[in-house]
Amino acid sequence: MPFPKKSALRKSKHSKAGEPPMTDERGFEARGVGYFLLVFAVCCLSSGLFGQAQTPAAAGSADVAAAVPSDSSTVAQATPPADKDKQAPPAAAPAAAAPAAPAADAKPPDEIVPVKGVKGRWDTFNLAGHPEYTFNPFDPYHQNTLKADYPMAGDWFIQVNALNTDVYKSRSNLDFSKVFPGQTFHSHNNFFNENIFYGLELRHHADVFVPSNFKLHLDGVFDHKQDPNAVNNGDFNNSHVFDAFVDIHLFDAGQSNFDLTFLRAGIFAFQSDFHGLIFNDEGLGGRIFGEFLKNRLRYDVVYLKLFQKDAVSGFIDFSKPSRHQVGITRFTWEDFLVKGWNSEWTVHFNYDPRDIKATGHIAGLNTVYFGNTMNGHLGRWIFNPAVYGVAGKADHVVAGNPIRHDVLAWMGLADLEYPLDYVKFRLGYTYVSGDSNPNDTTDHGFDSISDAVQLFGGPISYLVGENIKFGAGDLDRANSFYPSLRGGNAQANYVNPGLQLMNAGMDVTFSPRVQMALNGNYSRFNNTGSFPTATGTNANILHKDGGIEGNAFIRIKPFLHQINQNVILDLGVSALHPLQGMQDMFQTDKTVYSTFVALRLVY
C-alpha cells in the first residue's frame, strides 16, 4: 500500500472529528471561496515575480514571498544577496489574503504529530507519525531484534528460532510374531513424540534483497518419545545437534544479475531432488552452490560424511563409528523446455563400507545413482515425473566373508495433478525394480541412499509414512515406499522384491485456514521369492498383491490472519489392509490403522 502524503496526515481545520462529508450546498460555498483565494494568490505571485524581473537592483537580502492560503503547501522564493553598493530598498510585498473564516461549529483539531525524518532504513512509522518499532523478546509478530527485523549492531542481524512439535498416534501394528516367535512384539502403540528445536542465525546484511555474505547457523533439538513402535514401548529422551554450519559468499558470476556463489560448511541437511527420492538426510561436510542467468540455472556440489542414527530418535549419534560418505552434484534448470516446468539433474556417489565383526573383513558398497526429476506446470496440468538408475558394486556376507555382487536397478515416478478452483485432483504411479533371482550375483532391486518422501499421503499414510517393522528390521522405513527390508542404520539393500504403487487423491482448500487431503493407495510386489533381511531371516513372498490403503488429512491454521503459520494443527487417519503378498510375509490378514494429531508452534 503506498504511503500517504504528509498533508494527508493532518486533520482538516474545517470539519469536526467524525463529522459526515459536507452537503452539496456547503461544498459549493467552500469550493467558491477556495477558487477565489487560489486565483488571488496566483495573481500576487505573478506580480511579485514581474516586479523582481523589472528591478534587478532590488535583489537585496530581503525575500519576496507569495503565500498561498492552502492547507497543503506553501510556495516561497528567496532572492540571492546583491552587491552592497547597489543595494536598493526592498520592494513592497503584496498583501496576503486573509484566510477563510472557519465554520462556526468547527472544533480545534487534534494534536498534529509531524512525520519525523527516518534515522535509519529500518525505522518505520504509522499513519499518525508514531514510530512502529517496538522490541519485546516474546513478540515475534512486530519488529523485533531477535527476529532479524532490526540490526543487532551495525549491519549484523540475529534471528532466534524455536519450534515445538507435539505428535500423538494411536496405531496398531502388522503382526510378525508368527514369523519371529522370539522377538518382542507390541500389537498397539499409543505413540507420543515431542520435538523442541531451538537455535539462532547470525548474519551480515539483512538477507532481504541480496543474500547475506556471511551466516552462522546453529540448531539443537530435544526429542522425547513414548511407546514408539512395535518393538520398543518405553520412554526415551535424547538431545542432539541438528545442524551447525556457516555460509560464506565466494564470488559473483555476473555484473547486475546477482548470480552469486556460496560455500556452506558444517553439519547440515540436504535434499537432492524435488521429492527426496534418493537422498534427504544430514551429515558433516561442505556444499558449493550458486546460480546463473538470474537464478534460472542453479548448481550444487555436495560432500557429506554420514553418521549412524539413534535407533529411537532418528537423529545423529556421533558416538557410533561410520565411514559412510556421499558425494552429490545437482544441476537445476528452471523453465526447462516449457515455461513453468523445472528440472533437476543429479549424480550421487554412495560409498558405505561396513566391518564384519566375526572375521574382520570389510563388506564394501560403492554405487552411483544418476537421473532427473521434473516439477511444474504444463499448461493447466501439473506434471512431476522422475527416473533414476543405480549401478555399482555391493558385497554380501556369506559365512563371515564378503561376496561381490553387481548392482543394476532403476525406478520411475509419475505424479499428475489437475487444479480446478479450490480442488486439486491427483494421480500417481511409481515403479521400483525388484530382484527376480535373489540367489545370483547381480542385484536388480532398487533402494535409495537415505530417502524421505512426502508423496501419496506422506507421513499420514500407513504404507509410506509409518516404519513398518518386520522383526528387528523393517519392511520399509518411515517416509519411504521402497521395500528394502533393511533397518535404519543398515546398508542399502539391492536384493528386494521391488514395488508398484498406484495413488489417487485430491486436495481441497476450504479456506486459507482449513485444508484437506484424501488418498487411496494400492501396492504390488514386482517379484516373488525368498529375500534376505537385515536380521538374517528371509522374507517369503509368494504372491504379488501387497496391500490397499486409504488416508485422510486435515490442516487447520486457527490464527492465520494474525500469525500466519506459527500455529498449525494437523489431524489424520489411515488404514492398511494386507493383501495376499503381505499376508505371506507377515502371516496375518488383520487390517491395521493409525490416527494422527500434531500441533506445531513456531517462534
Whole-model pTM over 0.75: yes
Q: How many CA atoms lie within 13 A of 461 on its CB side?
A: 31
452-504 tens-digit pLDDT: 999 999 999 999 999 999 988 889 889 999 999 987 788 999 999 999 999 99
Q: Which residues of 549-566 are buried (b: 16+ CB within 10 A; e: fewer)?
A: bbbbbbbbbeebeeeeeb
Alpha carbon separation from 47 to 41, 42, 57, 425, 498 (Å, rounded)? 10, 9, 17, 75, 95
Would the pLDDT of 296 be above 60? yes
Q: Which of 84-93, 247-256, 273-282, 511-520 has the weakest average pLDDT?
A: 84-93
Can you state the percent helix, strand and coil of the chain, rounding each to 5? 10, 45, 45
Q: Are 540 and 500 in contact (CB under 8 A)?
A: no
Confidence (pLDDT) at 43: 52
Specify the 3-state DSSP secondary structure of 472.
Answer: coil
Confidence (pLDDT) at 126: 65
Question: Is residue 255 very low, low, confident or very high in pLDDT (cuts 50, 70, 90)?
Answer: low
Residue listed under C-alpha cell 450546498: 25
Confidence (pLDDT) at 132: 63
Would the pLDDT of 432 be above 60? yes
Confidence (pLDDT) at 364: 92
Q: What is the spatial distance between Cα 65 and Cα 53, in angstroms, rounded to a whole number?
A: 14
Confidence (pLDDT) at 67: 36
- Rg value, the chain, Cα: 35
Q: What is the spatial distance between Cα 96 and Cα 131, in angstroms, rounded to a whole number?
A: 37
Residue listed under C-alpha cell 528390521: 473
Confidence (pLDDT) at 142: 73
Q: Are 552 and 528 in contact (CB under 8 A)?
A: no
Would the pLDDT of 276 be above 60? yes
323-379 tens-digit pLDDT: 999 999 999 999 998 898 999 999 999 999 998 888 889 999 999 999 999 999 998
Q: What is the spatial distance between Cα 537 and Cα 525, in angstroms, rounded to a whole number?
A: 19
Confidence (pLDDT) at 167: 95
Average pLDDT, the chain: 81
Mean pLDDT value of segment 529-533:
89
Question: Is residue 410 very low, low, confident or very high in pLDDT (cuts 50, 70, 90)?
Answer: very high
Q: What is the spatial distance between Cα 558 and Cα 167, in angstroms, rounded to a whole number?
A: 18
CA 493 to chain centroid: 31
Alpha carbon separation from 506 to 53, 129, 423, 425, 523 (Å, rounded)? 79, 49, 7, 4, 19
Q: What is the spatial distance between Cα 187 and Cα 54, in angstroms, rounded to a whole number?
A: 106
Confidence (pLDDT) at 398: 87
Q: Are 150 and 133 in contact (CB under 8 A)?
A: yes
Run of H or E residues at 166: strand 156-172
Question: Is residue 287 very low, low, confident or very high in pLDDT (cuts 50, 70, 90)?
Answer: very high
More confident position, 51 or 281: 281
Confidence (pLDDT) at 133: 59
More confident position, 125 or 78: 125
Confidence (pLDDT) at 569: 95
Mean pLDDT value of segment 422-447:
95
Confidence (pLDDT) at 123: 64
Outline where DSSP puts E strands in 62-101: none
Specify the 3-state DSSP secondary structure of 568.
Answer: strand
Confidence (pLDDT) at 59: 38
Confidence (pLDDT) at 472: 82
Q: Which domains does the chain have, with CATH numbers?
A: 18-86 (no CATH), 156-602 (2.40.160.100)
Report the 10 Å Cβ neighbour count for 63: 11
Q: Are 280 and 272 in contact (CB under 8 A)?
A: yes
Which region, left, alpha or beta, applies to residue 337 given φ > 0 means left and ψ of -120 to 50 means alpha?
Answer: left
Residue 444 burial by CB count (10 A; 0-12/13-18/19+): exposed, middle or buried?
A: buried
Q: How many CA atoms lie within 13 A of 284 on its CB side?
A: 10
Residues in the chain: 603
Report which of 174, 195, 197 is spatially closest to residue 186, judged by C-alpha positions: 174
Report the 10 Å Cβ neighbour count for 140: 18
